[in-house]
Amino acid sequence: MKVIVQQAPFDPYHVITDYQAKHLQPGRYGAVVSFVGAMRDFGEQDSVTAMILEHYAGMTEKQIEKVCNDAATQWDVLDMLVVHRYGELHPNDPIVLVAVWSTHRSDGFDACRYIINFLKQRAPFWKREIGSSGARWVESNTEDIGI
């Protein structure tokens, strides 16, 4: 398992391929389930041109590692990778990648969903949107329907 919190942009598909080649034995996994979250150009304001993500270095990584370990105890997963950006982001920039390798897809989907829901709802990140009306702090994330 690996958790990376970084300011630099990343290509999620390259990151998955590179991690898989370096850390997973071919033929051992039957599923690679991934989620890539990207910045939208809208929020509660009419339009959003940028977003600033802040975090508490050290604590953020530990909390993400804990939720990954929790997922590993609930589902049969082989490995997990989480990459999350902070700093200034713009529409279409990838913000987060969650990748889960498992023998069977069901465990991979469940673990991936569990991790991304934690990141959306409880991870220690603070968002400030910048748009046509100025800057504002985002007080809560949107919730997925049916969760």
pLDDT digits (tens, 9 = 90+) for 14-69: 999 999 999 999 999 999 999 999 999 887 757 999 999 999 999 999 999 999 99
pLDDT tens-digit series, residues 61-111: 999 999 999 999 999 999 999 999 999 999 999 999 999 999 999 999 999
pTM: 0.92
**For the purposes of burial, counting CB atoms within 10 Å of the CB of 138, is it exposed (0-12), middle (13-18) or buried (19 or more)?**
middle
Question: What single-letter amino acid sits at 30?
Answer: G
Picking from 46, 45, 67, 58, the residue whose alpha carbon sits closest to that of residue 112 is 67
Report the 10 Å Cβ neighbour count for 73. Answer: 7
Q: Over the stretch 110-128, which tens digit does the pLDDT of each residue have?
A: 999 999 999 998 899 999 9
